[in-house]
Structure 1
Amino acid sequence: MAVDDYAFGRITIAGRVYTKDVLLLSDGVHSPWWRKEGHSLDPGDLEGVLADPPEVLVIGTGYYGNMDVPEKTLKALRDKGIEPRVARTTQAVEELNRLMGDSARIAAALHLTC
């Protein structure tokens, strides 16, 4: 599912606008997506991703990149065979859309604001 547009605090996916953080999984868009600690990504925040592991998880850390992705989270993903790709959300959206043309199973976790 490609992203049509992204700007600070707002993302459009398949023509629908979301103003809360989103998870894009094989079964669709999940929003709002909440984390235990707002600006830190814990493995527990990715239960839906870990339950049905994609090959690649694109992680958007916010417009300014303020969401931290600790090593323990990256390790939990790699241990499940998931390749994490972490970037500010603007670049993460570009990467996600680029990857959509590949045959790999792709998921995304996108923080929309700071």
Structure 2
Amino acid sequence: MIETCEFGSIVIDGKKHTSDLIIYPDRHTEDGWRRKSGHRLSGDDIGDLIKSEPEVIIAGTGVNGRMKPDRELRKLLAQKGITLIAEPNQNAMKSYNKLISAKRVGACFHLTC
């Protein structure tokens, strides 16, 4: 469960994280996540998350929604039958919390911008 998400931090199950991160469907997290191209999200950036076979990937695109999934990522996920929800962090947090009890969900959060 994501408890809070603010500029530069996110609290998941009582633990505060202060760097961009990935949440896998088994709920373990990978801190210090970086993208190859700043505010563009590509398949290479979340390859291990895709391999973990989620039904849904939620991309927290930043406080102001500046991180954008690229077209190729959308195509790749569609081919694999994975739903992508990309939205600003507050909305992404709500979507994640709503879906985790019903689906196999992974997520990635850009904590600034």
Give the TM-score category using the shorter length: over 0.9
Give unpaired runs (5+ residues) of structure 2: none
Residue number in structure 1 paired with 2:16: 17
For residues 56-95 of structure 1, give each alpha carbon's deviation from its aligned partner in whole angstroms, at most 9, with x where no partner exists.
0011110000101111111111112110011111100010
Specify the SS of the correspondent of 2:19: coil
Residue 18 of structure 1: CA displacement?
A: 0.6
Q: What amino acid maps onto 1:5 in structure 2?
A: T
Give the superposed CA RMSD.
Answer: 1.0
TM-score for the superposition, normalised by structure 1: 0.93
Residue number in structure 2 paired with 1:78: 78
Residue number in structure 1 paired with 2:92: 92
Q: How many residues align?
A: 112
Residue number in structure 1 paired with 2:44: 44
TM-score for the superposition, normalised by structure 2: 0.94
Are the aligned partners of 1:53 and 1:81 in contact in 2 as well (CA < 8 Å)? no
Take 2:110 and 2:68, find their aligned partners in 1: how far apart are those partners?
Answer: 11
Take 2:42 and 2:88, find their aligned partners in 1: how far apart are those partners?
Answer: 17
Q: What amino acid maps onto 2:107 in structure 1?
A: A
**4+ long deviations beyond 6 Å:** none
Among the aligned pairs, what percent are the same residue? 33
